[in-house]
Amino acid sequence: MAIVNVTPDSFSDGGRHFSVDRAVGHALSCVAEGADILDIGGESTRPGATPVSAAEEQDRVLPVIERLARDTDALISIDTYRARTAQLAIAAGAHIINDVHGLQREPEIAAIAAQTGAGLCIMHTGRGRDRLADVVADQFDYLNRSLSIAAAANVARETIVLDPGFGFAKETVEENMALMARCDELLALGYPLLVGTSRKRFLGTLTGRDAGERDAATAATTVLLRMKGASVFRVHNVAVNRDALAIADAMIAAEPRTGKEQV
Residue 258 has pLDDT above 80, yes or no: no
CATH superfamily of 2-254: Dihydropteroate synthase-like (3.20.20.20)
Cα distances from 255 to residues 29, 181, 225, 245, 258, in angstroms, run 34, 19, 16, 15, 9
Active-site hit among 170, 199, 200, 214 = 200
Indicate if 200 belongs to the active site. Answer: yes
Mean pLDDT of 62-78: 98
Residue 192 has pLDDT above 60, yes or no: yes
Mean pLDDT of 150-155: 98
Residue 11 has pLDDT above 90, yes or no: no
122, 103 Cβ separation under 8 angstroms: yes
Residue 49 has pLDDT above 80, yes or no: no
Q: Which pLDDT score is estimated for 261?
A: 54
Closest CA to 36 of 72, 64, 12, 60: 72
Q: What is the pLDDT of residues 91-111, one digit of tens each?
A: 999 999 999 999 999 999 999
Indicate if 157 belongs to the active site. Answer: no
Mean pLDDT of 188-195: 98
pTM here is 0.92
Mean pLDDT of 55-73: 97
Residue 13 has pLDDT above 80, yes or no: no
User: CA-CA distance, 246 to 102, in Å (whole number)?
Assistant: 30
Q: Which pLDDT score is estimated for 9?
A: 53
Q: Which pLDDT score is estimated for 139?
A: 97
Angle at 171 between CA 165 and CA 177, to 5 degrees: 65
pLDDT, the chain, mean: 93
Active-site hit among 60, 131, 170, 234 = 234
Which neighbouring-strand residues pair with 75?
37
Q: State phi, psi for 32 to the nearest 5 degrees.
A: -60, -30
